[in-house]
Structure formats: C-alpha cells, structure tokens
Amino acid sequence: MRNLSTFLYEWKHFVRSPFKVIAFLMFLLAAIYGLHNGAKLYKTQLVEIDTIKQKIEKDREENIAFYEAGEKGPKDKLWIDITKPFWAIWLGKTYLFKSPSPGLVYSTGESEQYGFYKQVSIWASTMDSDMTKEIANPERLQIGMLDFSFALLYLLPLLLMILLYNLRSSEAEENFLMLIQVQAASINSWLLSRVIFYMLLTLLSVIILLVYGAMLTGVFSSNSSIFNNLFLYSLLYLVFWGGIYYLILRNGRLIINNTLKMVGIWLLFTFVIPAISLQWISIRKPVNYMVDYIEASRDETRDLYDLPDSIILDRLNILFSEPLKGSEEEKEAKIRKVKRVAFAALANELIKNKVESIEIENESKNHSVRTTYFFSPVTFFQNCFNKVSYSHYDDYRQFREDIQYLIDKQIKVLLKDSWNEVIVDKDKYIDYTKELVKVD
C-alpha cells in the first residue's frame, strides 16, 4: 500500500510538471518517427524486390517464347544464341535477394550501408560498387533517417534523466528528508519506489511503441521472437540506466550536482567511450582502401588475357575438381571457344582471394569492437538490436558469402556445359533459372 501511495503521489507530480510531460511526449514523437522510418525502409525494399522479380519473370517468359518459336534470340541482336550456355545463363538474369526483416521497423542497422539485392554473373564480385553504399551517421541524421533504436539508445537515457533529476535532492534542499523518514520505512526505499514508478512509466511507453511498430510491418505474424527479444533488450537497457541514476540520486543532495553527474555519465557512455573505442580501433587497424582488390580487378585481371592456352588449362584443372577432358587437340580447340568463361573463372579466383583478405581484416576489427562491450554498453545494445532486426554486419557478410557461392556455381556450370558443348533447350533453360539461384 505504501508503494501504491508513492506511485499515486508521483503520478500527480509528473502530470503537474509541464517540463517532464513535454519531454515524455517529445520522446514518444521521436520514437514514432523512427518506427515509421524503419517501416518505410522495410516496405521500400519489399517493393523494389517485387519489381525486380516481375521484370525477371517477364524477361524469362520472352526467352522461353524464343525456344518455343525455334528462334535463337532477338532478331535485332543476331550475335545472341540462346541455345548456347553462355547466352542462356546471361539472359536468365540470376539475382540473389536479402529479403528485409520486419524487424527493420525497430533498427535499420547496416541496411542503409549495403545493397540488398545483387545480379549474379560470371564477372560479378561481392565488393562491387552496388554492394557497398556507406552512409555515415551524420549523413543519416541529415536526411532524417532516425530509427527507433536511436531513440532508445540515446534519447531514452535523456528522458529518464529529465524524469528523475530532482528526486530526493529537491526534498533535501528544502529540508524535508527528516519528515519523509518519519512517514517512510527508509529514505532509500522511498527513493527506489519513485525511481521504479518512472521506470515502469517509461517501460509501458516502450511496450506500446514496440507493439505499434510490430503492427506497421506485421512482426507478430512473421516472427514474434523479434518483438520478444527487442522487449528483453529494451528492459535490460532501461534497468541499466535506471540503476545508474538511482545510485547518483541516492548519494547526491543537490539538484545541480545530480544533474551534472547524470549528464556526465550519459555523455561518457553514449559518446566519449564509443568515440575513444572507435579511435583506438582505427589506430590499431587503419581503414582498408582496398588497393589490392582494385589492382586485382583492374591490372592483374587484364594480365590474364596474355596467358597462353596451356597455362589457362592448367589453372582451370587446379580450380575445379573435375578436370577438363579431351585429347590435346580437342583441348586446344575447345579452350578457344570457352576463353571468355575461362578468363572469368581465373579472374573470379583472383578477386575472391583479395576479398577474403578484406573480410578477414573486417572480422578482426569486429572482434576488437566486441572486446569493448564490457565498458561500452551502448555499442553492445546497438549490436543486439541490429542482430534482432537481421540488419547486423554478420547478416550482410552472410549475404555476400551466398553471392560468392552463386558466382562460383554459375562459373562452374557454365564452364562445364560450354566445354561439353551442351545445346540449351527450353527445359535446360528453365533448369538454369531454378538451379543457379539455390544456395545450398
């Protein structure tokens, strides 16, 4: 009953404080704006993927019509012959999509830094310009891309600060603590009850926001664990800041001192420590300008065209488990016909090795970031939110690995069928369109 009366008293105190009410409403508006930004990004990606799929289906229907009519391709492009594996696969337009998660409504994460679809071809790579579109945080804010996780990570502690800053200290300055101690069991339990009231009020608002966000993208119908995990992390984050502020209020007696301590702790955890950590990682592991990758994709790839046929054959036999069969005369004749695919296979292996070194370096940096979680909780929770919404760096790394797998698969199938001079008919073309998009 005593806690209930404290809650009722604090509610009256809250609604009679315009400053606290306005701060609370501003937090809600910022969070709702962030939810709509995430939902907009989610729906935009779905529409884009659907548009591309419709275009792919239309192109494939046109190609199937060529097979049914006994034609080799468009009449105005006589060099195209869809009965050959190269043109059949090229015109089949293999795409791989990273379908957006409904959890983007909560945290957009890395989804604005990396592409979410990729046309796979024998000349593609996971480091093409359409795969890495980096947008820095200041640029995101400038274009209005504030998401719900930003409101939760940076604005929620500010809201709690405004709600709690004068608890106990205002009574201490007015010499009311002795009177309160007579009425309450202890000052600390009385203060804890008041802090818990505001934490419950904030938690209720977060739950309502999470439910509202789930309604925007259908989280409950698609993957309810997203909501449950976001709620758990939000609760832990709220308890983390509530506990820190309670300790400050418990040991402080002046409003100005408590406020300065809260502001200092907030700046320390949200800006200073993450900035120092990032600077430390940048010094230890400088930015990779991908010079090796650029040289491989430009100069070293161009040098492949100067290789003699015998060396090309030897390298192809090393790359693939099934050696290219035939007599020496047949190999000499066939290698001239499949040179385009052979060069693509060798270039892919060359570039893939450079990309692998970049990915290893990135993983090393991520490991360094993970070592800072203990004293950089904001970074930890940000990564947790991104993981839940499937917009984490690891999700896009897996997407790139799947793309590389399909590139390798397409090259292998194309080289094998071209070497064996396979004639592509309607059934074989349809088989291409189905098999070359599967990631085992």
pLDDT along the chain (440 residues), means of 10: 71 88 96 95 95 95 93 87 93 93 93 87 85 48 69 95 79 52 66 89 97 96 93 97 92 82 93 89 77 72 83 85 77 84 90 88 88 91 95 92 95 92 94 91
Burial code (b: 16+ CB inside 10 Å, e: under 16) for 137-173 equals eeebeeeebbbbbbbbbbbbbbbbbbbbbbbbbebbe
- Region of 113 please: left (phi>0), alpha (psi -120 to 50) or beta: alpha
- State whether 308 and 169 are in the same domain: no
Same domain? For 278 and 301 the reply is no
**Residue 42 located in a structural domain:** no
* Domain identity same for 322 and 427: yes
Judge if 348 and 267 occupy the same domain.
no
Listed in sequence order, the residues at least 6 apart from 400 whose beta carbon sits closer than 8 Å to its beta carbon are 126, 131, 359
pLDDT of 314: 86
User: Is 173 contained in some domain?
Assistant: yes
Residue 440 lies in a domain: no
User: Residue 205: which domain range?
Assistant: 2-37+147-284
250 lies in the same domain as 263:
yes
Contact at 8 Å (CB) between 39 and 216?
yes
Domain boundary among 284, 308, 334: 284
Is 233 a domain residue? yes
Does residue 380 form part of some domain? yes
pLDDT computed for residue 43 by the predictor: 95
How many residues can be counted in the chain?
440
How much is the pLDDT for 206?
Answer: 97
Task: Give a yes or no: residue 293 inside a domain.
Answer: yes
Contact between 104 and 42 under an 8 Å Cβ cutoff? The reply is yes
Domain assignment of residue 48, yes or no: no
**Whether residue 162 sits in one domain with residue 137:** no
The whole-angstrom separation of Cα 1 and Cα 10 is: 14
Same domain, residue pair 292 and 275: no
Nearest-angstrom CA–CA distance, 381 and 232: 11
Last residue of a domain, one of 259, 284, 309: 284
pLDDT at 63: 94
CA dihedral 256, 260, 266, 269 (to 10 degrees): -150
Residue 281 and residue 368 in contact, taking contact as beta carbons nearer than 8 Å:
yes
* pLDDT value, residue 256: 82
Residues 156, 271 share a domain:
yes
User: Where are the alpha helices (H) located in 297-392, listed in sequence order?
Assistant: 301-303, 309-319, 328-337, 339-370, 377-388
Instruction: Looking at the structure, tell me whether residues 251 and 302 fall in a common domain.
Output: no
How many domains does the chain contain in total?
A: 2
Q: Residue 172: its pLDDT value, please?
A: 54
Contact 161, 265 (CB under 8 A): no
Burial of 411 (0-12, 13-18, 19+ CB in 10 A): buried
Residues 265 and 160 in one domain: yes
The angle, 0 to 180 degrees and rounded to 10, between the axes of the packed helices 377-388 and 273-284 is 80
Phi, psi (deg, nearest 5) at residue 315 = -70, -40
pLDDT at 168: 64
What pLDDT was estimated at residue 55?
Answer: 95
H-type helices in 75-132, by residue range? Answer: 85-92
Asked if residue 103 is part of any domain, the answer here is yes
Q: What is the pLDDT of residue 210?
A: 97
> What pLDDT does residue 136 have?
40
Beta strands in 116-182 (DSSP E): 117-120
Contact 331, 313 (CB under 8 A): yes
Last residue of a domain, one of 231, 249, 284: 284
Same structural domain, 312 and 392: yes
Considering the domain architecture, whether residues 199 and 156 belong to the same structural domain is answered as yes
